[in-house]
């Protein structure tokens, strides 16, 4: 268990983000997530300051660390220079490394985010591209988006884009050299292992939940389970 | 008199020679905005701006969504800096507010933890064989438009005036959280009174609307929006803002973040379709524009070349108020000149007043 505290205290986000919390609660007052969810960034700081490994491990297995929207309004407001949003970013990373993230409904969603965002980075060179925002996964985008999606090259290029073509310009095809370099960065810095850890732990959880999991999104029962279902009794 | 510290907060913006880093979200949802920005800087202001074909994502949305580790994101940012260095530039201009916040955060961490900078240099060298300089200046494109707002005004064909009443248009300005909330001292006016969009609106003839939830997040929430189950978080935040601004009857919303622009546009559709509530006049929505789109239509660009037809909330009532001429038949025409058909009409959110 000491591994957990070592991992947290060695990270620059811990050193930079938790100086001396006096529990004033200003971060919770300004936090949009605290208004929407049962989430309290002040309480996260408390748990971390306790250095209670059991309590921290428990926190990493709960929904709470996944509620933050990373707007970082807490950074602006904290009178002591703490950054709960930065600590959350660290705790999420540690929760995945330790395999705790699949213990909570909100943590399990990281699998869907890895499939619909993370993989795009190394496959296409974009976090988000028109071709990724599929209307059946994004009904909130509305009919104008459906029209753009259907006619993407015509519409983008009219605006000066260079849709999925070689060269410079908006929505261009990212060069093979850049993609090769991005993949190598993920290998060298641990990003690839991180993706594999998300997959490995998610496959275990899918098996426990008796949900089918495949590499594709379209016929992936576990993906749709973590992407769109919500337990209404969740706190 | 109480000292107003925010008046001392200033953005530092280089005069010329910009290395433009394209945004995943702005390219995808406001494709024309990036092209307009480059045209304005290069052709109207006569400045040098690089549009590098080797660019790629900064990975910021992946980092803030929790699927990309910090060291990986820092090294991806380092590669972008290496491309800038190889191209002979020192002034980094990230189009996305997420990127702007991320690169400032990364550079700030490197400043406080030089050993981390050395580690990332090692990672990039090992992975790509590249070296990099940290940028001398990091400014958002909105800072550049703000800096040259007076010069641009002289070239504008229209102003933010209602041509029917002669009164200034009422404009809500929305600043993306990662522009001013992470490092408030590095932007003019800080987090509470950011001047960048206010300055454009006032210089170009409009009136800024102050409303209670002016500084509230649009609700993107990164991982919150990325899964269908949690998009209620995102919609609820935008709804809170829309309800707060509605009594002031704004003519449009202006945003510096592409994500915020898209969400406040799309959530008006979702809220209308699920709850029957609309926030604009006559059953329509409140148009939401990027600052590049606003500059473009004031300068006389064809609104459909800029991409205003890709907004869910229709912009024609705003164009009519501004006296801007447009061809309705040209709206859904593609690059090839072919008519692409019209999008379906929503059930509740009107696309034409009184239809």
Question: How buried is A94 (Cβ within 10 angstroms: 0-12 exposed, 13-18 middle, 19+ buried)?
Answer: buried
The residue among B343, B258, B340 whose CA lies nearest residue B23 is B258
Q: What is the pLDDT of residues B164-196, one digit of tens each?
A: 999 999 999 999 999 999 999 989 999 999 999
Q: Classify domain A2-101 at the CATH superfamily level.
A: Alpha-helical ferredoxin (1.10.1060.10)
**Which DSSP string corresponds to A40-97?**
-HHHHHHHHHHT-HHHHHHHHTSSGGG------HHHHH-TT---HHHHHHHHHHHHHH
Q: What is the pLDDT of residues A68-108, one digit of tens each?
A: 999 999 999 999 999 999 999 999 999 999 999 999 999 99
Distance CA B237, CA A235 (A): 19
Instruction: For residue B166, give how far its alpha carbon lies from the nearest alpha carbon of chain A (Å).
Output: 31
pLDDT confidence tier of residue A1, bands split at 50, 70 and 90: low
Q: What is the pLDDT of residues B16-49, one digit of tens each?
A: 999 999 999 999 999 999 999 999 999 999 999 9
Instruction: For residue B197, give how far its alpha carbon lies from the nearest alpha carbon of chain A (Å).
Output: 19
The shortest CB-CB distance from A133 to any of B28, B60, B182 is to: B28
Residue B95 has pLDDT above 80, yes or no: yes
Q: Please state the rounded mean pLDDT for residues A9-17.
A: 97
**Which DSSP string corresponds to B194-229?**
--HHHHHHHHTT-EEPP-TTTTS----TTHHHHSGG
**Which residues in chain A are closer than 8 Å to B104, comparing Cβ atoms?**
none
Residue B1 has pLDDT above 90, yes or no: no
With CB atoms and an 8 Å threshold, state whether A175 touches B54: yes
Q: Are A85 and A70 in contact (CB under 8 A)?
A: yes
**Which DSSP string corresponds to A179-225?**
HHHHHHHHHHHTHHHHHHHHHHHHHHHHHHTT----SSSTT-HHHHH
What's CA A202's distance to the chain center, in Å?
A: 14
pLDDT confidence tier of residue B6, bands split at 50, 70 and 90: confident
With CB atoms and an 8 Å threshold, state whether B68 touches A118: yes
pLDDT given at position B5: 80
**Which residues in chain A are closer than 8 Å to B344, comparing Cβ atoms?**
143, 146-147
Residue B231 has pLDDT above 90, yes or no: yes
**Which residues in chain B are closer than 8 Å to A69, comparing Cβ atoms?**
217, 219-222, 224, 233, 237
Percent of chain B with pLDDT over 70: 99
Alpha-carbon distances of A95 from A65, A192, A202, rounded to whole Å: 9, 16, 13
Q: Where are the domains of chain A?
A: 2-101, 107-228
* Residue appearing with tokens 């006096």: A22
Q: Please state the rounded mean pLDDT for residues B126-139.
A: 98
Q: Which residue of B has its CA nearest to A230?
A: B229
Question: How buried is B329 (Cβ within 10 angstroms: 0-12 exposed, 13-18 middle, 19+ buried)?
Answer: exposed
pLDDT given at position A63: 97
Residue B232 has pLDDT above 90, yes or no: yes
Percent of chain A with pLDDT over 70: 98
With CB atoms and an 8 Å threshold, state whether B177 touches A227: no
Task: Give me chain A's average pLDDT, please.
Answer: 96
Distance CA B13, CA B290 (A): 20
Percent of chain B with pLDDT over 90: 95
Q: Please state the rounded mean pLDDT for residues B110-135.
A: 98
pLDDT given at position B90: 98
Q: To probe the interface with B, which of A70, A98, A186 has the most B CB atoms within 10 Å?
A: A70
Angle at A185 between CA B140 and CA B113, to 5 degrees: 60
Domains in chain B, start-ordered, CATH in brackets?
14-139 (1.20.1050.140), 149-330 (3.40.50.11810)
Give me the phi and psi of A97, to 5 degrees please.
-60, -40
**Which residues in chain A are closer than 8 Å to B79, comparing Cβ atoms?**
181-182, 185
Lowest mean pLDDT among A175-179, B183-187, B257-261: B183-187
More confidently predicted of A216 and A145:
A145
Give me the phi and psi of B339, to 5 degrees please.
-75, 130
Q: Are B201 and B125 in contact (CB under 8 A)?
A: no
Q: Are B240 and B213 in contact (CB under 8 A)?
A: yes
Task: Give me chain B's average pLDDT, please.
Answer: 97
Q: Which residue of A has its CA nearest to B64?
A: A70
pLDDT given at position A133: 98
pLDDT given at position A222: 98
């Amino acid at each position: 268990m000491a591994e957990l505290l070592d991992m947290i205290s060695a990270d620059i986000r811990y050193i930079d983000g938790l100086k001396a919390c006096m529990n004033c609660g200003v971060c919770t007052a300004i936090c949009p997530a605290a208004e929407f969810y049962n989430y309290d960034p002040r309480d996260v700081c408390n748990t971390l300051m306790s250095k209670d490994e059991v309590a921290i491990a428990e926190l990493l297995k709960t929904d709470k660390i996944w509620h933050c929207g990373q707007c970082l309004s807490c950074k602006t407001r904290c009178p002591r220079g703490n950054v709960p949003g930065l600590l959350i970013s660290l705790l999420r990373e540690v929760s995945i490394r330790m395999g705790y993230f699949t213990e909570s409904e909100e943590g399990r969603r990281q699998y869907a985010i890895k499939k619909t965002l993370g993989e795009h980075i190394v496959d296409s060179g974009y976090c988000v591209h028109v071709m990724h925002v599929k209307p059946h996964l994004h009904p909130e985008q509305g009919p104008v988006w459906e029209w753009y999606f259907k006619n993407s090259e015509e519409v983008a290029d009219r605006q000066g884009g260079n849709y999925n073509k070689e060269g410079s310009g908006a929505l261009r095809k990212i060069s093979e050299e850049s993609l090769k370099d991005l993949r190598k960065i993920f290998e060298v810095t641990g990003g690839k292992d991180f993706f594999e850890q998300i997959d490995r732990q998610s496959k275990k959880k899918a098996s426990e939940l008796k949900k089918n999991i495949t590499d594709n999104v379209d016929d992936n029962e576990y993906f749709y389970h973590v992407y769109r279902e919500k337990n209404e009794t969740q706190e | 008199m109480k000292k107003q510290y925010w008046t001392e907060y200033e953005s530092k913006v280089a005069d010329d020679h910009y290395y433009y880093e394209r945004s995943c979200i702005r390219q995808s949802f406001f494709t024309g905005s990036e092209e307009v920005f480059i045209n304005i800087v290069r052709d109207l202001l006569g400045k040098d701006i690089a549009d590098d074909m080797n660019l790629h994502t900064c990975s910021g949305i992946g980092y803030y969504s929790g699927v990309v580790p910090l060291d990986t994101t820092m090294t991806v940012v380092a590669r972008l800096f290496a491309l800038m260095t190889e191209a002979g530039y020192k002034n980094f201009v990230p189009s996305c507010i997420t990127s702007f916040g991320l690169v400032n955060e990364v550079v700030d961490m490197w400043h406080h933890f030089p050993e981390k900078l050395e580690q990332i240099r090692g990672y990039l060298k090992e992975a790509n064989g590249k070296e990099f300089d940290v940028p001398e200046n990091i400014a958002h494109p909105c800072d550049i438009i703000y800096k040259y707002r007076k010069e641009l005004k002289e070239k504008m064909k229209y102003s933010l005036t209602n041509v029917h009443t002669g009164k200034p248009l009422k404009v809500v300005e929305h600043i993306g959280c990662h522009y001013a909330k992470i490092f408030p001292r590095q932007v003019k006016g800080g987090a509470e009174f950011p001047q960048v969009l206010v300055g454009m609106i006032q210089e170009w003839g409009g009136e800024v609307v102050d409303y209670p939830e002016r500084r509230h997040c649009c609700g993107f929430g990164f991982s919150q929006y990325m899964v269908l189950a949690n998009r209620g978080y995102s919609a609820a935040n935008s709804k809170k803002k829309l309800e707060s601004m509605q009594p002031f009857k704004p003519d449009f919303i202006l945003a510096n973040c592409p994500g915020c622009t898209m969400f406040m546009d799309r959530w008006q559709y979702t809220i209308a379709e699920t709850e029957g509530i609309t926030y604009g006049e006559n059953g329509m929505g409140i148009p939401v524009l990027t600052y590049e789109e606003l500059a473009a239509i004031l300068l006389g660009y064809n609104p459909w070349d800029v991409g205003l037809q890709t907004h869910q909330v229709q912009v024609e009532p705003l164009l009519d108020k501004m006296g801007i001429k447009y061809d309705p038949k040209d709206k859904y025409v593609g690059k090839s000149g072919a008519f692409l058909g019209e999008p379906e009409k929503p059930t509740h959110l009107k696309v034409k007043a009184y239809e």
